[in-house]
Amino acid sequence: MQQPPGFVDPRFPTHVCRLNKALYGLKQAPRAWFQRLSSFLTSNGFMCSRADPSLFFFYKGRITLYLLVYVDDIILTGSDTSLLTQFIARLNAEFAIKYLGKLGYFLGLEITYTADGLFLGQAKYAHDLLSRAMMLEASHVSTPLAAGSHLVSSGDAYSDPTHYRSLVGALQYLTITRPDLSYAVNTVSQFLQAPTVDHFQAVKRILRYVCGTQHFGLTFRRTSSPAIIGYSDADWARCTDTRRSTYGYAIFLGDNLLSWSAKKQPTVARSSCESEYRAMANTASELVWLLNLLHELRVRLSTTPLLLSDNQSALFMAQNPVAHKHAKHIDLDCHFVRELVASGRLDVRHVPTSLQLADIFTKALPRPLFELFRSKLRVGLNPTLSLRGSVRDN
């Protein structure tokens, strides 16, 4: 921090301005606030996670506290109720906080407690989005994109690009609890610069799907023997404009979906084997991060993490460090998956395409397969709701 240009006091050039109240507009404010909060937490016995800087944990014997920070919103949980109460009082004495009790709503996410776990949804957020788009009464469809659909950059320009970007940006936040929307939203996000009428029609179809599944979300249940299983898939040269491949992954802890992604690869792959192998490397990178996080949370895994792919050539490349003329151009950082397999930290196996759950992140699927994979991802209706709507195909 320093004195503003043009207002430097020549008598005290090294001094800085003292703020009577912190201002959100200052670039230094978020860092200064986080440093102030983290200093308080560490002085009270908390440790900052190396895998996630916004996560703090406290261990004392069998007592465990977890604290998660997002700007000035905080989630606090632990295994000892009395210690939780004491720490909340300490936190309140140090900062002006508002205690909202048991977690039920956080940054647009609705948390519902079930008999054996949690349900995360964004029904209110989805309703507000549909209301803003004036599509609350829209007819429902069974899938976010029509099976086999491809979007291209050519076509008649859409008249209101700002409206298009606003809707797509809102849909991106909805994917926090709706992995079934990931591929469709990723597809329409690639045309934010110059959307066409066809692109906007694709966005409207996604909204029609959301209209019929507003109360859908992710279910998490207790698991007695936690094991990490990852699914990795790629669709070679999916983009007709750039010929780049689309890849996706889904990583489970037991039956609970922890992490997922649907993205376009940054480079053109020369073969389906290369695109699948790059997808495996990205999935393995996410697996390593999750393993580090679970280790800090003292979660003991029952088996070696398993990575499943439906491409035999990519599996062979991951398991055998054999130089091949068709693979020598692949970036060296992709080959670290071989080191993980060789060291025994990762196991890779084949999975039939019909059971490849990551397929839902790489292409638009027909309704039966889409609904099957959606259920496998634990995406479904809020279990506390008795009213169930119907979904009509189009």
Domain ranges of the chain: 29-101, 120-215, 223-376
Per residue in 200-251, pLDDT tens? 999 999 999 999 999 999 999 988 778 999 999 998 877 777 788 889 999 9
pTM equals 0.84
Architecture of domain 223-376 in this structure: 2-Layer Sandwich (3.30)
Q: How is residue 146 written in tokens?
A: 């029509």
Q: What DSSP letter does each residue of 59-96 carry, written as one string?
A: EETTEEEEEEEETTEEEEEES-HHHHHHHHHHHHHHS-
Q: How is residue 383 written in tokens?
A: 């279990």
Q: Which of 29-38, 139-148, 373-382 is predicted least confidently?
A: 29-38
Per residue in 315-350, pLDDT tens? 888 877 665 555 665 666 667 788 888 888 889 999
Q: How is residue 208 written in tokens?
A: 């029609």
Per residue in 52-96, pLDDT tens? 999 999 998 889 999 999 888 899 998 888 999 999 999 999 888
The pLDDT assigned to 306 comes to: 93
Polymer length of the chain: 394
Is a pLDDT exceeding 80 seen at residue 196? yes
Specify which residues 63 forms β-bridges with.
Answer: 60
Per residue in 248-289, pLDDT tens? 999 999 889 999 999 988 888 878 888 888 899 899 999 999
